[in-house]
Amino acid sequence: MTPPALPSRARVVVIGGGVIGCSIAYHLAHAGWTDVLVLERDRLTSGTTWHAAGLMTCFGSTSETSTGIRLHSRDLYARLEAETGQSTGFKPVGLIEAAADTDRLEEYRRVAAFQRHLGLEVEEISPREMSELFPWARTDDLLAGFHVPGDGRVNPVDVTTALAKGARQLGVRVVEGVRVEEVLVSTSSTTERVTGVRTSTGETVEAEYVVNCAGMWARELGAQNGLVIPNQAAEHYYLITDTIDGMDPDAPIFEDPASYGYYREEGGGMMVGLFEPRASPWKVEGIPRDFSFGTLPPDWDRMAPFLEKAMARVPVTLEVGVRTFFCGPESFTPDLSPAVGEAPGIRGYFVAAGMNSVGILSAGGLGRVLAHWIVEGRPDVDVTGFDVARFRPWQADDAYRAARTTEILGTVYAAHTPGKQLTSARDQLLSPVHDRLVEQGGLMREVSGWEGADWFAGPGEHPDPQPTWGRAPWFEQWEAEHRAVREAVGLMDMSFMAKLRVRGEGAGRVLDHLSAGPVDGPTETITYTQWLNEGGRIEADLTVTKLADDDFLVVASDTAHGHVLAWLGRHLTDGVTVTDVTTDYGQLNVQGPRSREVLATLTDADLSTESFPFRTARWVTLAHVEVLLVRITYLGELGYELYVPAGHAVGVYDAVAAAGAAYGLRPVGLKALASLRMEKAYRDFGHDIDNTDCPLEVGLGFALDLDKPFLGRDAVLARKSADGERGGMRQRLVQLRLTDPEPLLFHAEVVHRDGEAVGYVRAASYGWTLGGAVGLAFVSHGDEPVTPEWLRTGTWEVDVAGTCHPAEVSLRPMYDPAGERIKV
């Protein structure tokens, strides 16, 4: 067969003709970018798309981005046939999600309230009502169900064909039988940029943008250019029974995650799909290049117990024969979120891979998100949890991917009770004082690959996590650590924070251009600031410390590590270098009203406010070690951050702990970090603020210096002017507190004013000092401004799993609103 002729150039080359690649091409074309070439190595859908189960279900997410992506997909698949003449097979037969235990019921009630707020039509129904809608299932032992009548099913091949046809109708070229062998890039002194692709035909296609939608092969293709895309294929199973008498083709989809199964009609029989708790990775060393429309030999012995439990939920499946027992590969990422966005370090190289078995129901919306990102230069939804830059090199290792994939597939249908954590592929990155944390009885949890202490059971004690939606015995330890920081002093290890050394003659100019705050002022000064994009939206939330005129330290959160490094790299000028010193220094935080007294016993440096005021950063000798001592806090008290050479961190930790014994010092974990910062309403990028936010709307105007030029300043000034004409901002991030001390907040609880839903909680904790659950919520007032009067005069409530609880809200921190305690 003669290979098809290829154009010499295209504005965008999409690699992969699965449902994701075709959706991106379709949405690019609808955005007016029709000079797009889709290259598929074999035939459309030949990787994993062809054997997908075809579920188009929106229920189950507390992410606004994920919910929006799924709703867009559902709407698109419903109308695509009218546009293209190609059926998608979409049938809105409805979904029933079963809650078999109290943890799932609590979770689903919270999810339902949140997703109703975002427009999903979901209602809680009784076991009897579930049986009426899906009479084949045994429901007598279920607690409740959640019914979404607009959800349904599609034909994956038809959906992909319709998207490809829609793209072609607008001028996109879709070419099958051509493999991309290499993504070509050019290198300048500071960055790399895509120039095109080299194909299996020997031809080169020039391109401004390349999108890696290669599915199972995305990791290996990306690795050629140094990218980390750690998706890993695993076995995924479903069976199709023989014909079942009375099986209704319009019956809803039924899901019972506790039984590992989903169920839907297929060809007069029933499809029983499985998400077993322990999976089997496939071809960890690499996916065969010629694997197309392929199946895998099923492991009956391993799957038998899970299959029996799934089929027992729908007994009729045990009474009829099995027409097909299918096993095929699906790709999964280490955190069960997709790998999406512009690749760090290579301009114009985009990735959309690692769909975690939800590629069909995500494809429509994700295609829109990626197309917008490419066309406009930035995304219009929160992508902090999806950004491909979040992955670190060690996550691509074979052993890591094999171990993590075995566990991560099982979490698809697991109950997501707060406190649950993954146990596989742990201990990837250890703090220099890790052994001390363990000796103190620290409950270790994964923090972007690091091991961090959540709370401390005490020396020699074994911590019991006890995941729960309610209160657990370890709450006592949490409260004690919280109060130690408020009343005495706490010692916290935060060595996982990203630390970047920026040096060179132009370092100050680069960082001052990126930073909305004035970071290139006096030396020995730390500045809390944001980095914005040209649209005036937040790209990073961090500190910049000026050590010398040509030497700066940038510190960001662990989750933002890759993105901050990439963003900085895109804006470097000649002569400026960035060195990642994260593992070179331990970060020990000594926080609380007695922190100065403790440290004063270990150094001759004058730590008085007059000599060492708030925001001072100075090299001092402490416990006989030269450390960078920074007077700053993320907890709302007098406090210090100590940046200690890793080899000396244990000695300094021990010295601080010994000196602090006389002052009530306690080791403090990440649960207390969350509760303390939440009481002070301190923001956390990727949790309560994200890349869609304007710093003015989320209460960070104090950190902006609008009198100096910086990236994004013009957009912020324009928004400020428009808000001034309107009389205020239409949406604001506010702090809220439940007045009843019993209910707990976690995330995504809907906020009501005078009985009307006006927003939701982005992040929350318990405020031990304030005496109730505390959160940060984004609220809006339609086209009217959110003013202090509007906030003050309303009756506020928060929906917690279907029950509304009274709350109070504030634009200012409820704890120490004037910030007096941090400056004493």
Which helix (H) or strand (E) segment is 620 a member of?
strand 617-622
The two tokens of residue 667 are: 């080791």
In a domain, 488, yes or no: no
The two tokens of residue 138 are: 């045994």
Whether residues 728 and 807 fall in one domain: yes
> Is a pLDDT exceeding 60 seen at residue 1?
no
Q: What helix, strand, coil percent values describe the chain, rounded to 5?
A: 30, 30, 40
Domain count, the chain: 3
Whether residues 125 and 200 fall in one domain: yes
> Is a pLDDT exceeding 90 seen at residue 751?
yes
Instruction: Report, as an integer, the average pLDDT of 365-372.
Output: 98
In a domain, 216, yes or no: no
Whether residues 192 and 267 fall in one domain: yes
The dihedral of CA 274, 279, 280, 282: what is its sign?
Answer: positive
List pLDDT tens digits, range 633-653.
999 999 999 999 999 999 999
Listed residue (583, 584, 509) closest to 552, CA to CA:
509
In a domain, 161, yes or no: yes
DSSP 528: E
We report the CATH number of the domain holding residue 582 as 3.30.1360.120
> Is a pLDDT exceeding 70 seen at residue 823?
yes
Q: Tell me if 185 sits within 8 A of 193, measured CB to CB.
A: yes
Pairwise CA distance, residues 574 & 246, whole Å: 73
Q: What is the pLDDT of residue 511?
A: 98
pTM assigned to the model: 0.96
Whether residues 724 and 633 fall in one domain: no
In a domain, 382, yes or no: no
List pLDDT tens digits, range 600-645.
999 999 999 999 999 999 999 999 999 999 999 999 999 999 999 9
Instruction: Report, as an integer, the average pLDDT of 776-786.
Output: 95
Q: What is the per-residue burial (b if ≥16 Cβ within 10 Å, else e) of 29-50?
A: bbeebbbbbbbbbbebbbbbbb
In a domain, 444, yes or no: no
We report the CATH number of the domain holding residue 812 as 2.40.30.110
Q: How many residues does the chain have?
A: 824
**Coil/strand/helix, residue 733:** strand
| Maximum Cα interatomic distance, the chain, rounded to a whole number of Å | 86
> Is a pLDDT exceeding 60 seen at residue 342?
yes
Whether residues 719 and 802 fall in one domain: yes
Whether residues 614 and 718 fall in one domain: no
Q: Which of 184-198, 259-273, 695-709 has the lowest mean pLDDT?
A: 184-198
DSSP 243: -
We report the CATH number of the domain holding residue 256 as 3.30.9.10
Q: How far is CA 512 from the centre of its chain?
A: 28
Q: What is the pLDDT of residue 257?
A: 97
Q: Tell me if 350 sits within 8 A of 210, measured CB to CB.
A: yes
> Is a pLDDT exceeding 80 seen at residue 190?
no
In a domain, 579, yes or no: yes
Instruction: Report, as an integer, the average pLDDT of 359-384.
Output: 97
Instruction: Report, as an integer, the average pLDDT of 401-410.
Output: 96
Instruction: Report, as an integer, the average pLDDT of 522-532.
Output: 98
Whether residues 658 and 784 fall in one domain: no
DSSP 692: T
Pairwise CA distance, residues 564 & 538, whole Å: 11
Pairwise CA distance, residues 627 & 603, whole Å: 11
Q: Domain of 16?
A: 9-208+231-332
Q: Tell me if 70 sits within 8 A of 361, measured CB to CB.
A: yes
Reported as a pLDDT band with limits 50, 70 and 90, residue 5 is confident
Q: What is the pLDDT of residue 494?
A: 98
| Last residue within a domain, chosen from 644, 675, 706 | 675
> Is a pLDDT exceeding 60 seen at residue 237?
yes
Mean pLDDT of the chain: 97
Reported as a pLDDT band with limits 50, 70 and 90, residue 188 is confident
Instruction: Report, as an integer, the average pLDDT of 779-792.
Output: 95
Q: Which of 181-195, 447-461, 682-696 has the lowest mean pLDDT?
A: 181-195
| Last residue within a domain, chosen from 288, 310, 332 | 332
Q: What is the pLDDT of residue 4?
A: 78
Q: Are strands 36-40 and 9-15 parallel, antiparallel or unpaired?
A: parallel
Amino acid present at 678: M
Listed residue (361, 270, 283) closest to 328, CA to CA:
283
Whether residues 235 and 108 fall in one domain: yes
List pLDDT tens digits, range 555-594.
999 999 999 999 999 999 999 999 999 999 999 999 999 9
% residues pLDDT > 90 (the chain): 98
Whether residues 758 and 654 fall in one domain: no
| Last residue within a domain, chosen from 332, 358, 392 | 332
Whether residues 641 and 760 fall in one domain: no
**Residues ≥6 apart with Cβ < 8 Å to 789:** none
Q: Helix crossing, 19-30 with 156-169: angle to 10°?
A: 30
% residues pLDDT > 70 (the chain): 100
Whether residues 655 and 731 fall in one domain: no
Reported as a pLDDT band with limits 50, 70 and 90, residue 300 is confident
In a domain, 253, yes or no: yes
Q: What is the pLDDT of residue 189?
A: 67
In a domain, 431, yes or no: no
Whether residues 671 and 770 fall in one domain: no
Instruction: Report, as an integer, the average pLDDT of 463-467.
Output: 95
List pLDDT tens digits, range 65-87.
999 999 999 999 999 999 999 99
Amino acid present at 626: E
Q: What is the pLDDT of residue 49?
A: 96
Reported as a pLDDT band with limits 50, 70 and 90, residue 111 is very high
Instruction: For tokens 């504030």, name the residue.
Output: 810
